[in-house]
Protein backbone atom coordinates (compact mmCIF):
# COMPACT_ATOMS: atom_id res chain seq x y z
CA UNK A 1 0.00 0.00 0.00
CA UNK A 2 1.71 3.25 -1.11
CA UNK A 3 2.57 5.78 1.58
CA UNK A 4 0.22 8.28 -0.05
CA UNK A 5 -2.70 5.90 0.36
CA UNK A 6 -1.72 5.23 3.98
CA UNK A 7 -1.76 8.97 4.59
CA UNK A 8 -5.20 9.20 2.97
CA UNK A 9 -6.48 6.47 5.31
CA UNK A 10 -5.12 8.34 8.33
CA UNK A 11 -6.68 11.56 6.98
CA UNK A 12 -10.12 9.92 6.74
CA UNK A 13 -9.81 8.55 10.29
CA UNK A 14 -8.81 12.04 11.44
CA UNK A 15 -11.88 13.56 9.76
CA UNK A 16 -14.25 10.97 11.21
CA UNK A 17 -12.68 11.01 14.67
CA UNK A 18 -12.52 14.78 15.18
CA UNK A 19 -16.00 15.06 13.69
CA UNK A 20 -17.44 14.02 17.06
CA UNK A 21 -16.15 17.29 18.52
CA UNK A 22 -17.84 19.24 15.72
CA UNK A 23 -21.09 17.37 16.35
CA UNK A 24 -20.95 18.28 20.03
CA UNK A 25 -20.35 21.95 19.17
CA UNK A 26 -23.12 21.97 16.59
CA UNK A 27 -25.57 20.60 19.13
CA UNK A 28 -25.04 23.76 21.19
CA UNK A 29 -27.04 25.68 18.56
CA UNK A 30 -29.17 23.08 16.81
CA UNK A 31 -31.35 20.31 18.22
CA UNK A 32 -30.18 16.86 17.09
CA UNK A 33 -32.82 15.81 14.56
CA UNK A 34 -32.92 19.25 12.94
CA UNK A 35 -29.11 19.19 12.80
CA UNK A 36 -29.13 15.80 11.06
CA UNK A 37 -31.92 16.91 8.71
CA UNK A 38 -29.87 19.88 7.54
CA UNK A 39 -26.78 17.74 7.07
CA UNK A 40 -28.51 15.29 4.72
CA UNK A 41 -30.48 18.00 2.94
CA UNK A 42 -27.22 19.66 1.94
CA UNK A 43 -25.71 16.27 1.06
CA UNK A 44 -28.55 15.71 -1.41
CA UNK A 45 -28.90 19.21 -2.82
CA UNK A 46 -27.77 20.29 -5.33
CA UNK A 47 -25.86 17.09 -6.20
CA UNK A 48 -28.98 15.13 -7.20
CA UNK A 49 -29.50 17.69 -9.98
CA UNK A 50 -25.91 17.22 -11.18
CA UNK A 51 -25.14 13.53 -10.73
CA UNK A 52 -27.28 10.83 -12.40
CA UNK A 53 -29.08 8.36 -10.17
CA UNK A 54 -26.90 5.29 -9.49
CA UNK A 55 -27.95 2.18 -11.38
CA UNK A 56 -29.34 0.43 -8.31
CA UNK A 57 -32.93 -0.34 -7.28
CA UNK A 58 -34.76 2.44 -5.46
CA UNK A 59 -35.12 0.20 -2.39
CA UNK A 60 -31.36 0.25 -1.90
CA UNK A 61 -31.27 4.04 -1.90
CA UNK A 62 -34.25 4.20 0.45
CA UNK A 63 -32.78 1.60 2.82
CA UNK A 64 -29.34 3.22 2.91
CA UNK A 65 -30.83 6.66 3.49
CA UNK A 66 -32.91 5.38 6.37
CA UNK A 67 -30.24 3.24 8.03
CA UNK A 68 -27.39 5.75 7.71
CA UNK A 69 -29.33 9.01 7.84
CA UNK A 70 -31.87 8.29 10.56
CA UNK A 71 -30.63 5.06 12.13
CA UNK A 72 -26.96 5.98 12.43
CA UNK A 73 -26.56 9.74 12.45
CA UNK A 74 -30.00 10.79 13.67
CA UNK A 75 -29.71 8.54 16.71
CA UNK A 76 -26.03 9.39 17.17
CA UNK A 77 -26.77 13.12 17.26
CA UNK A 78 -29.64 12.56 19.70
CA UNK A 79 -27.49 10.46 22.04
CA UNK A 80 -24.66 12.98 21.99
CA UNK A 81 -27.14 15.72 22.87
CA UNK A 82 -27.48 14.52 26.46
CA UNK A 83 -26.76 10.82 26.92
CA UNK A 84 -23.14 10.11 25.93
CA UNK A 85 -19.85 12.00 25.71
CA UNK A 86 -18.28 12.47 22.24
CA UNK A 87 -15.20 10.35 22.97
CA UNK A 88 -17.22 7.37 24.15
CA UNK A 89 -19.64 7.74 21.24
CA UNK A 90 -16.75 7.59 18.76
CA UNK A 91 -15.59 4.38 20.46
CA UNK A 92 -18.81 2.45 21.02
CA UNK A 93 -20.21 3.01 17.53
CA UNK A 94 -17.24 1.08 16.10
CA UNK A 95 -19.01 -2.07 17.29
CA UNK A 96 -20.72 -1.79 13.88
CA UNK A 97 -17.85 -3.92 12.54
CA UNK A 98 -18.96 -6.85 14.68
CA UNK A 99 -22.63 -6.26 13.89
CA UNK A 100 -21.79 -6.31 10.18
CA UNK A 101 -20.36 -9.82 10.54
CA UNK A 102 -23.40 -11.03 12.49
CA UNK A 103 -25.86 -9.57 9.97
CA UNK A 104 -23.91 -11.05 7.07
CA UNK A 105 -24.08 -14.42 8.80
CA UNK A 106 -27.84 -14.15 9.26
CA UNK A 107 -28.81 -12.61 5.92
CA UNK A 108 -26.16 -13.84 3.48
CA UNK A 109 -25.53 -17.25 5.09
CA UNK A 110 -21.86 -16.43 5.60
CA UNK A 111 -19.96 -18.66 8.00
CA UNK A 112 -18.68 -17.45 11.35
CA UNK A 113 -15.47 -18.70 12.93
CA UNK A 114 -14.60 -19.19 16.56
CA UNK A 115 -12.19 -16.18 16.53
CA UNK A 116 -15.08 -14.01 15.35
CA UNK A 117 -17.25 -15.25 18.22
CA UNK A 118 -14.39 -14.48 20.61
CA UNK A 119 -14.07 -11.01 19.04
CA UNK A 120 -17.76 -10.41 19.70
CA UNK A 121 -17.37 -11.42 23.35
CA UNK A 122 -14.28 -9.23 23.84
CA UNK A 123 -15.88 -6.16 22.27
CA UNK A 124 -19.03 -6.49 24.34
CA UNK A 125 -16.92 -6.84 27.48
CA UNK A 126 -15.93 -3.24 26.81
CA UNK A 127 -19.59 -2.28 26.36
CA UNK A 128 -20.47 -3.94 29.69
CA UNK A 129 -17.68 -1.99 31.41
CA UNK A 130 -19.02 1.28 29.98
CA UNK A 131 -22.53 0.36 31.14
CA UNK A 132 -21.20 -0.34 34.64
CA UNK A 133 -18.98 2.74 34.96
CA UNK A 134 -20.50 5.22 32.53
CA UNK A 135 -22.56 7.35 34.92
CA UNK A 136 -23.10 10.74 33.21
CA UNK A 137 -20.60 9.93 30.43
CA UNK A 138 -22.88 7.17 29.14
CA UNK A 139 -26.41 6.73 30.45
CA UNK A 140 -28.13 3.34 30.03
CA UNK A 141 -30.50 4.73 27.39
CA UNK A 142 -27.58 6.40 25.64
CA UNK A 143 -25.63 3.16 25.48
CA UNK A 144 -28.68 1.31 24.16
CA UNK A 145 -29.37 3.89 21.45
CA UNK A 146 -25.72 4.10 20.34
CA UNK A 147 -25.73 0.32 19.89
CA UNK A 148 -28.85 0.66 17.72
CA UNK A 149 -27.01 3.34 15.74
CA UNK A 150 -24.07 0.95 15.30
CA UNK A 151 -26.48 -1.76 14.16
CA UNK A 152 -27.99 0.67 11.65
CA UNK A 153 -24.51 1.49 10.32
CA UNK A 154 -23.89 -2.24 9.89
CA UNK A 155 -27.18 -2.59 8.00
CA UNK A 156 -26.13 0.28 5.75
CA UNK A 157 -22.84 -1.50 5.08
CA UNK A 158 -24.74 -4.55 3.85
CA UNK A 159 -26.92 -2.39 1.60
CA UNK A 160 -23.75 -1.05 -0.03
CA UNK A 161 -22.41 -4.59 -0.34
CA UNK A 162 -25.60 -5.70 -2.10
CA UNK A 163 -25.54 -2.61 -4.35
CA UNK A 164 -22.18 -3.57 -5.89
CA UNK A 165 -19.74 -1.11 -7.38
CA UNK A 166 -21.46 2.27 -7.69
CA UNK A 167 -20.47 5.92 -7.93
CA UNK A 168 -20.23 6.50 -4.18
CA UNK A 169 -20.84 10.28 -4.25
CA UNK A 170 -23.95 9.87 -6.39
CA UNK A 171 -25.09 7.02 -4.14
CA UNK A 172 -24.63 9.18 -1.04
CA UNK A 173 -26.41 12.15 -2.59
CA UNK A 174 -29.43 10.24 -3.87
CA UNK A 175 -29.80 8.12 -0.73
CA UNK A 176 -29.66 11.30 1.37
CA UNK A 177 -33.00 12.29 -0.17
CA UNK A 178 -34.55 9.44 1.80
CA UNK A 179 -32.74 10.29 5.02
CA UNK A 180 -34.40 13.71 5.25
CA UNK A 181 -38.11 12.77 5.62
CA UNK A 182 -37.78 10.55 8.76
CA UNK A 183 -35.32 13.01 10.30
CA UNK A 184 -37.58 15.98 9.55
CA UNK A 185 -40.65 14.16 10.90
CA UNK A 186 -38.77 13.23 14.06
CA UNK A 187 -37.61 16.83 14.45
CA UNK A 188 -41.20 18.08 14.06
CA UNK A 189 -42.58 15.52 16.51
CA UNK A 190 -39.79 15.45 19.10
CA UNK A 191 -38.40 19.01 18.92
CA UNK A 192 -41.47 20.92 17.75
CA UNK A 193 -42.05 23.76 15.25
CA UNK A 194 -41.30 26.49 17.80
CA UNK A 195 -37.83 25.14 18.65
CA UNK A 196 -37.11 24.54 14.96
CA UNK A 197 -37.93 28.15 14.05
CA UNK A 198 -36.03 29.52 17.03
CA UNK A 199 -32.95 27.40 16.31
CA UNK A 200 -32.83 28.33 12.61
CA UNK A 201 -33.24 32.02 13.43
CA UNK A 202 -30.70 32.16 16.24
CA UNK A 203 -28.01 29.75 14.99
CA UNK A 204 -24.60 31.39 14.77
CA UNK A 205 -22.50 31.28 11.64
CA UNK A 206 -20.31 28.70 13.36
CA UNK A 207 -23.28 26.32 13.51
CA UNK A 208 -23.90 26.66 9.77
CA UNK A 209 -20.20 26.12 9.14
CA UNK A 210 -20.36 22.90 11.15
CA UNK A 211 -23.41 21.74 9.17
CA UNK A 212 -21.51 22.35 5.93
CA UNK A 213 -18.48 20.49 7.30
CA UNK A 214 -20.75 17.57 8.18
CA UNK A 215 -21.89 17.52 4.57
CA UNK A 216 -18.68 18.26 2.69
CA UNK A 217 -15.95 17.02 5.01
CA UNK A 218 -17.42 14.07 6.82
CA UNK A 219 -19.81 12.77 4.15
CA UNK A 220 -18.46 13.65 0.71
CA UNK A 221 -14.71 13.88 1.36
CA UNK A 222 -14.53 11.22 4.07
CA UNK A 223 -16.68 8.59 2.38
CA UNK A 224 -15.35 9.54 -1.05
CA UNK A 225 -11.72 8.92 -0.06
CA UNK A 226 -12.66 5.76 1.83
CA UNK A 227 -14.33 4.35 -1.26
CA UNK A 228 -11.31 5.38 -3.37
CA UNK A 229 -9.09 3.26 -1.12
CA UNK A 230 -11.49 0.30 -1.00
CA UNK A 231 -11.60 0.18 -4.79
CA UNK A 232 -7.79 -0.14 -4.95
CA UNK A 233 -6.94 -2.38 -2.02
CA UNK A 234 -8.38 -5.40 -0.24
CA UNK A 235 -10.98 -4.50 2.38
CA UNK A 236 -8.95 -6.35 5.04
CA UNK A 237 -6.08 -3.94 4.36
CA UNK A 238 -8.22 -0.80 4.57
CA UNK A 239 -10.76 -1.64 7.28
CA UNK A 240 -8.27 -1.69 10.21
CA UNK A 241 -7.50 1.97 9.60
CA UNK A 242 -11.00 2.76 10.90
CA UNK A 243 -9.74 1.74 14.33
CA UNK A 244 -7.95 5.09 14.40
CA UNK A 245 -11.34 6.84 14.50
CA UNK A 246 -11.96 6.39 18.26
CA UNK A 247 -8.30 7.19 18.94
CA UNK A 248 -8.69 10.58 17.26
CA UNK A 249 -12.20 10.96 18.68
CA UNK A 250 -11.22 10.39 22.31
CA UNK A 251 -8.04 12.47 21.97
CA UNK A 252 -9.93 15.38 20.36
CA UNK A 253 -12.71 15.23 22.96
CA UNK A 254 -10.20 15.25 25.78
CA UNK A 255 -8.22 18.12 24.24
CA UNK A 256 -10.96 20.45 23.00
CA UNK A 257 -13.95 19.54 25.18
CA UNK A 258 -12.06 18.64 28.37
CA UNK A 259 -13.64 15.20 28.45
CA UNK A 260 -12.23 13.21 31.35
CA UNK A 261 -10.31 10.02 30.59
CA UNK A 262 -10.47 7.77 33.68
CA UNK A 263 -9.00 4.28 33.74
CA UNK A 264 -12.21 2.51 32.76
CA UNK A 265 -12.43 4.39 29.45
CA UNK A 266 -8.96 3.18 28.50
CA UNK A 267 -9.80 -0.39 29.51
CA UNK A 268 -13.11 -0.31 27.63
CA UNK A 269 -11.34 1.10 24.57
CA UNK A 270 -8.77 -1.69 24.79
CA UNK A 271 -11.49 -4.37 24.89
CA UNK A 272 -13.50 -2.92 22.01
CA UNK A 273 -10.54 -2.24 19.73
CA UNK A 274 -8.96 -5.62 20.55
CA UNK A 275 -12.21 -7.31 19.57
CA UNK A 276 -12.40 -5.34 16.35
CA UNK A 277 -8.78 -6.14 15.46
CA UNK A 278 -9.35 -9.86 16.11
CA UNK A 279 -12.51 -9.72 14.00
CA UNK A 280 -10.74 -8.05 11.10
CA UNK A 281 -7.76 -10.40 11.20
CA UNK A 282 -9.98 -13.47 11.31
CA UNK A 283 -12.34 -12.44 8.51
CA UNK A 284 -11.21 -13.70 5.08
CA UNK A 285 -11.82 -11.36 2.17
CA UNK A 286 -11.12 -11.56 -1.51
CA UNK A 287 -8.53 -9.27 -2.99
CA UNK A 288 -9.85 -6.69 -5.45
CA UNK A 289 -9.52 -7.41 -9.11
CA UNK A 290 -6.69 -5.90 -11.12
CA UNK A 291 -9.23 -3.80 -12.96
CA UNK A 292 -10.33 -2.24 -9.68
CA UNK A 293 -6.73 -1.44 -8.80
CA UNK A 294 -6.10 0.51 -11.98
Q: Using H for helix, E for strand and C for coil, what is the string for the chain? A: CCHHHHHHHHHHHHHHHHHHHHHHHHCCCCCHHHHHHHHHHHHHCCHHHCCCCCCCCHHHHHHHHHHHHHHHHHHHHHHHHHCECHHHHHHHHHHHHHHHHHHHHHHHCCCCCHHHHHHHHHHHHHHHHHHHHCCCCECHHHHHHHHHHHHHHHHHHHHHHHHCCCCHHHHHHHHHCCCHHHHHHHHHHHHCHHHHHHHHHHCCHHHHHHHHHHHHHHHHHHHHHHHHHHCCCCHHHHHHHHHHHHHHHHHHHHHHCCCCCCHHHHHHHHHHHHHHHHHHHCCCCCCCCHHHHC
Q: What digits encode the pLDDT tens for the residues 65-119? A: 999 999 999 999 999 887 888 888 888 887 877 787 778 777 766 566 777 778 7
Question: Average pLDDT for residues 267-278, to the nearest whole number?
Answer: 80
pTM of the model: 0.81
| Residue of 163 and 137 predicted with greater confidence | 163
**Mean per-residue pLDDT for 161-178?**
88
Average pLDDT estimate for 137-163: 86
pLDDT digits (tens, 9 = 90+) for 186-215: 999 999 999 999 999 998 899 999 999 989
Amino acid sequence: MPITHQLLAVFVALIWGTNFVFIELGLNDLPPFLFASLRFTFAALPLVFILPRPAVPWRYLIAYGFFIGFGQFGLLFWVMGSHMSPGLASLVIQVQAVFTIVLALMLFKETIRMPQILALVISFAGIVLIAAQGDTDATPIGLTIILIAALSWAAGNLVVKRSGKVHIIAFLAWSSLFAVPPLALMSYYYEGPALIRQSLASAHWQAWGIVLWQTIGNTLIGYGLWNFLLQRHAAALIAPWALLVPVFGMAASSTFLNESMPWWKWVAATFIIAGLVLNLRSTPVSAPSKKAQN
